[in-house]
Amino acid sequence: MLPQSSLEWQAGLDKFIDTIFEGTYASETAPCPCSRCCGVVYKRKSEVQMDLLTKGFDENFVKEKGNAGIFLNDDRDLNVGPPDDASSANNLLSALIRGATSGNTNEEPCESAKKFFDLLKDAQQELWPGSQLTKVSFLVKLFQLKCMGGWSKENAEQTLSLWRDTLPPGHCIPDTIKKAQKIIRDLGLTYIKIDACVNDCVLFRGPLADMDTCPTCGESRWKKDDTNSDEIGKSSESGGAKKRTPCKVLRYFPLTPRLQRLYMSKETSSLMRWHKEELVSDGKMRHPADSLAWKHVNDRYKWFDSDPRNVRLGLASDGFNPFGMLNVNYTCWPVILIPYNLPPWLCLKQPYWMMSMLIPGPKSPGVNIDVYLQPLIDELHDLWVNGVLTWDEKEKKNFTLHAILLWTINDFPAYAMLSGWSTKGKFACPYCHKHTDYLWLKHGSKHCYLGHRRFLPMNHKWRRNKTSFNNKAETREAPVPLSGDQVLRDYESFQQVTFGKDTRKRKQRDEENRWHNWRKKSIFFQLPYWKSLLVRHNLDVMHIEKNICESLLGTLLELQGKCKDSEKARLDMQHFGIRPDQHPVLEKGKYTLPPALYSLGKDDKEILCKFLHGVKFPDGYAANIRRCVDVNGCKLSGLKTHDLHVILQKLLPLVVRNILPKDVVTPLMELSRFFNSLCSKELEFSEIEKLSTSIRETLCRLEMIFPPAFF
């Protein structure tokens, strides 16, 4: 090994750093391989260079790559991280096929692997003699431009024709767009179009594939046009049959070929074993594999855990508007799958996300999302029961790949869509289910959810404190979430709903008499293992932070539409007979609201706004929050979810300690600390237990201070 003082070693270091920050690394940061960061912490180029000079390389990194001095002077591909720049199609293709060579083996690859290896031949074929572009990389870039620019097939065909006329003889550009699509289709990453009922009743697949009308609502499968329906299908004057246009189309991206592709590269095949071969068990949580839910699956299905190549997946879905401000009434729903076998610094990177389907709009599917999830559930069921024959490029052997869906991740409204338990009404909490502690606010005309003392220890002094809460002692035990078997028993008490847009409104009487909040039987229970999972649905933390921070800032600054301390909120407190000192006072036909502990004067509001207006962040850490602050009017507007996430965790504790009394500052700082710890990259199990205990008291403290409308 060369000494660090030698010119050769320093030249090799510069070359190594330049290499990992170019090509596949389009961002400004990369994992630092020094002895302290161990390839986990992402840093800038200058910071990586300084760490390597002062701390040296990590021993595991040196062992994996060989002698550090030799490695730094090697000309091999050193791009060990994920491609982050979607515009570099050539780099994406290189990352996709890097290391995937059939090699010499006694076992024949499976059919899907053979098609992929045939693609490698085209990938190595020069576009024309002496060209730096290959045939496949050119076509990938062409289709990327077609997608980003909104080209039609005719535009792409004309572009191909122009290139064919421009390039010298000997080029290999296909003459039609169909031939180009066939080459790209061999990647195995195509999608399937499935017609859907306009009212979200059914998908026209399987036995319904040839039907022209929906069997549930009777609506036509096809869009109406000016031509007579009797003429549809007949030959037109040009000689071609008239093509009918479906009203709604689901675009489904098959999961199996994408999972198979992960094992056709040596690098990704090795990384997919990380959770089993390189996971450090030291009592800390850094990866989903450290969680109890993951270990529960391993203990229950040992045959699945025996092969580390079997894939664990998470599902995420949310609605978004693809047209920006051009059409604010449209929303579509992508369904994303995330493979958790990868290391923590890769599994949540966008290049490894797998879009399973794109559910069309213009409205949210609601509980009818199960209709669209059926193809995915069928494929997940087959991957669990039968598996799929897959080629492992690392071991040069075929194996049977199985997959399991561990959980879903979504915000609160999407939770209701996927789980079937409505997050509205008197039983809105899916954790407490039918034991949810709710109150109907007479003046606010909405439900509020209190009763956080149930989660305290039975001997806690606040359980006997009547004055500070609802004038009642709390003797109930904390509710226990429903297990999978209990959910299935609940399902036996009602019939599955008929999917589709039902215009009939539910009667208020039926809602009041309902003992549960189930709106459907979730399609996920068609998976054999779903009922045995420890955690089936997760809530997105940042959405929760957004809602909490909006309520806090709106109440402190008395923002219209966001303030939870209003005249109606005080009248509800008077109605329940709690906190008499804050009841509204009627004077000359108008109500006057006595100041509360959290009430801010004009000067305090200006201090809060000036602080948010003047704060500065490191580049890339957060948005420019000052643009959303009106100091003179003491108002906030236009804050995004990530902005509120930063304010709640980092900024709010710094400013409230100077403008609010201690009784209010304490729970707010504890709340901020809770989310800050929850979102950290590393958590100890003892810390999780402390957080679980502290958040109970924090919620009780907030319940003693803020009005019921806050909850």
Residue 42 lies in a domain: yes
Q: Are residues 60 and 108 in the same domain?
A: no
Residue 703 lies in a domain: yes
Q: Which of 536, 537, 534 is nearest to 301 (CA)?
A: 534
Q: Are residues 703 and 653 in the same domain?
A: yes
Task: Give the separation between CA 411 and CA 542, rounded to whole angstroms.
Answer: 9
* The model's pTM: 0.79
Q: Are residues 688 and 572 in the same domain?
A: yes
505-543 pLDDT per residue, tens: 555 555 566 778 899 999 999 999 999 999 999 999 999
* Alpha-helix runs per DSSP H in 58-110: 59-65, 68-72, 89-97
Tokens of 59: 């021993």
Task: Give the separation between CA 287 and CA 681, rounded to whole angstroms.
Answer: 9
Please name the residue that has the structure tokens 């839910």.
293
For residue 595, the one-letter residue type is P
Domain boundary among 56, 81, 106: 81
pLDDT for residue 626 is more than 70:
yes
281-322 pLDDT per residue, tens: 888 898 999 999 999 999 999 999 999 999 999 999 998 888
Q: Which of 361, 372, 315 is nearest to 338 (CA)?
A: 315
Task: Give the separation between CA 350 and CA 370, rounded to whole angstroms.
Answer: 25
Q: Are residues 112 and 75 in the same domain?
A: no
Q: For residue 316, give the 3-state DSSP assignment.
A: strand
Task: Give the separation between CA 226 and CA 233, rounded to whole angstroms.
Answer: 14
Q: Are residues 169 and 46 in the same domain?
A: no
Residue 152 lies in a domain: yes
pLDDT for residue 674 is more than 60:
yes
Which carries the bigger pLDDT value, residue 705 or residue 170?
A: 705
pLDDT for residue 192 is more than 50:
yes
Q: Residue-wise over 276-291: b if at least 16 C-beta within 10 A, else e?
A: beebeeeeebbbbbbb
Query: Would you state the pLDDT for residue 231?
Result: 44
Into how many domains does the chain fold? 3
The DSSP bridge pattern shows strands 333-339 and 354-359 to be antiparallel
Residue 266 lies in a domain: no
Residues β-bridged to residue 448: 439
* CB count in 10 Å sphere of residue 364: 17
372-385 pLDDT per residue, tens: 999 999 999 999 99
Average pLDDT over residues 247-262: 92
Task: Give the separation between CA 271 and CA 517, rounded to whole angstroms.
Answer: 42
Cite the beta strand spans of 176-309 per DSSP E: 192-196, 248-252, 284-285
Q: Which residues contact 542 (CB under 8 A, 6 or more apart)?
A: 641, 642, 645
Task: Give the separation between CA 551 and CA 652, rounded to whole angstroms.
Answer: 13
Contact, 142 vs 89, CB < 8 A?
Answer: no
Q: Are residues 589 and 678 in the same domain?
A: yes
Contact, 113 vs 53, CB < 8 A?
Answer: no
Q: Which residues contact 332 (CB under 8 A, 6 or more apart)?
A: 319, 320, 322, 358, 359, 360, 361
Average pLDDT over residues 458-473: 90
Residue 399 lies in a domain: no
Residue 74 lies in a domain: yes
Q: Which of 433, 466, 432, 453 is nearest to 696 (CA)?
A: 453
pLDDT for residue 60 is more than 70:
no
Q: Which of 549, 505, 512 is nearest to 438 (CA)?
A: 512
Which carries the bigger pLDDT value, residue 537 or residue 44?
A: 537
Q: Are residues 632 and 677 in the same domain?
A: yes
Residue 145 lies in a domain: yes
Contact, 408 vs 430, CB < 8 A?
Answer: no
Query: Would you state the pLDDT for residue 52?
Result: 80
Residue 465 lies in a domain: no
Q: Are residues 166 and 36 in the same domain?
A: no
Tokens of 5: 């003082």
Q: Are residues 684 and 646 in the same domain?
A: yes
Residue 477's Cβ-count burial label (10 Å; 0-12, 13-18, 19+) is exposed
Residues β-bridged to residue 153: none
Which carries the bigger pLDDT value, residue 324 or residue 549?
A: 549
Task: Give the separation between CA 381 and CA 342, rounded to whole angstroms.
Answer: 22
Domain boundary among 81, 105, 125: 81
Task: Give the separation between CA 562 and CA 559, rounded to whole angstroms.
Answer: 5
Q: What are phi and psi of 535, to 5 degrees?
A: -130, 125
Q: Which of 363, 364, 387 is nearest to 311 (CA)?
A: 387
98-132 pLDDT per residue, tens: 444 444 456 777 777 777 777 776 667 788 888 87
Average model confidence (pLDDT) across the chain: 83
**pLDDT confidence bin for 69, thresholds 50/70/90:** very low
Contact, 427 vs 434, CB < 8 A?
Answer: yes
Q: Which domain holds residue 133?
A: 91-185
The DSSP bridge pattern shows strands 403-410 and 311-317 to be parallel
Task: Give the separation between CA 373 and CA 337, rounded to whole angstroms.
Answer: 12
Task: Give the separation between CA 118 and CA 112, rounded to whole angstroms.
Answer: 10
| Angle between helix 153-166 and 177-185 (nearest 10) | 100
Tokens of 248: 């709604």
Quick one: what percent of the chain has pLDDT higher than 90? 46
Q: Are residues 180 and 108 in the same domain?
A: yes
The DSSP bridge pattern shows strands 403-410 and 537-539 to be parallel
* Planar angle of CA 190, 193, 195, nearest 5 degrees: 170
CA distances from 157 to 145, 189, 190 (A): 13, 22, 20
Domain boundary among 169, 185, 201: 185
Q: Are residues 697 and 552 in the same domain?
A: yes
Q: Which of 374, 358, 377 is nearest to 319 (CA)?
A: 358
Q: Are residues 23 and 158 in the same domain?
A: no
Q: What are phi and psi of 115, to 5 degrees?
A: -60, -40
